[in-house]
Amino acid sequence: MNSGLAGPSKAMLALSAETTRAAKDNGLDHLLVELVKIRASQVNGCAFCLDMHTADAIKQGENPRRIFVLDAWREVDLFSDEERAALELTEAVTRLSETRDVPDDVYDRATAVFTEPQYQALLWMIVVINAWNRLSVTSRAPLPS
Each residue's pLDDT, cut to its tens digit, for the chain (145 residues) gives 555 688 999 999 999 999 999 999 999 999 999 999 999 999 999 999 999 999 999 999 999 999 999 999 999 999 999 999 999 999 999 999 998 899 999 999 999 999 999 999 999 999 999 999 999 999 999 999 8
> Are the beta carbons of 127 and 44 closer than 8 angstroms?
no
> What is the Cα–Cα distance from 142 to 59, expressed in whole angstroms?
21
Kindly report the number of other CB atoms within 10 A of residue 94's CB atom: 21
Residues whose CB is less than 8 angstroms from the CB of residue 130 and which lie 6 or more positions away in sequence, other chains included? 40, 44, 93, 94
- The pTM (predicted TM-score) of the whole model is 0.95
Count of residues making up the chain: 145
Ordered structural domains, the chain, with CATH:
29-138 (1.20.1290.10)
